[in-house]
Chains A and B, each alone.
Chain A
């Protein structure tokens, strides 16, 4: 850890306060040696319209994915990308983005697959930085190319594949899952958007046994994460999940569920949380996987 931690009181209550920084902390440390700010947005042009000074753009869609296979880049691809962006293995990386850090959390999750030692999220993301009237620029930073080591991606700890999810739901008593999509997607009344069959799935519904917690419930009005107490009331109080549980989160393509993965694992300290990036676009199109419809959680035994 080359860069000091943010000791903000709200962050201190989380299980892993070292995974977050506030906008005030970032403003204070901006430009320091060993700190790289990364913007990762849903909107591919947003960084170009103005960004935190010195920040580099990393686009989840076009840079973190393999261009052919539905998968992320491999160790060599990640090393190449990091070198080109001017990021070293021992740099502290602070990621921020639009839409409550929706895609920023996804980028952070991918950085974590490669075990980048120190990667943090800016609490409140882009919207909060701008709402506070902090400095932005359209100038592209000039970062010299770095040497980033080739580290193979570790897909077992925080990533779940379809087969893992199947084993999870078929386990005795059924595994714990969190479906973070909209209630309409969860019940199955919506398989795709109107006029929009190409993003649709052949089946609507949810994975049997999944609790419905739309991802945005974890965010406060200003896009920051809710306090630890509020988050515990939702996931532990209302849904009965516990930090000892083995939990899988999913959405449509794994981006909103990365946000929930972050909440459960980093903020609430759940020890075993995996993100199922295949999510509903894979599950809802797969042959012979069990699906539950309607508002009830269902289980493998009761799924239609």
Chain B
């Protein structure tokens, strides 16, 4: 995640949007078990488009690696971009590290100017839900 933050920070505003667009195109397709079964996932109400997430934790302790699955429509590239950043940034991180991510990590991408603070809320909301699912999966 820190690397992605650095990548964004290294760019001028206009190009940060371009990078976000690349992340939106790089969002992985859903695993077969969720394809056509969005009810198995959690809807992210904060996003104005139908966005669903599901967090997979390979184990029950704080060291277990985390994987994120997201469904976001093609007509919501910004949301897909946010999801792509989180998917790549969190993939394989230990559960505890994800839980300890600072709440303002999304704002460190430096997108507030180019995207507007109102839109950043969708990403903040998505991260909050990811953390909650991790917390539930690792609760003993």
Contacts and interface: CB of A to CB of B under 8 A. Distances in A.
Given A43-B77, A45-B78, A48-B77, A195 B116 contact: no
B95 interface: no
Interface string B97-122: 00000000000000001111011010
B78 A62 contact: no
B124 A43 contact: no
B contact residues, range: 20 to 34
A194 interface: yes
B128 interface: yes
A193 B75 contact: no
A45 B116 contact: no
Contacts of A62: 113-116
Contacts, number: 65
Contact of B45 (A45, A46, A59, A193): A193
A44 B115 contact: yes
A98 interface: yes
A45 B20 contact: yes
Contact of B114 (A44, A49, A198): A44
A contact residues, range: 20 to 34
A195 B76 CA distance: 21
Interface string A177-216: 0000000000000000111101100000000000000000
Contacts of B78: 43-46
Interface in A72-130: 98-99, 126-127
17 contacts: A43-B49, A43-B76, A43-B78, A44-B78, A44-B115, A45-B21, A46-B76, A48-B18, A48-B77, A61-B115, A61-B119, A193-B45, A193-B125, A195-B46, A195-B128, A196-B121, A199-B118
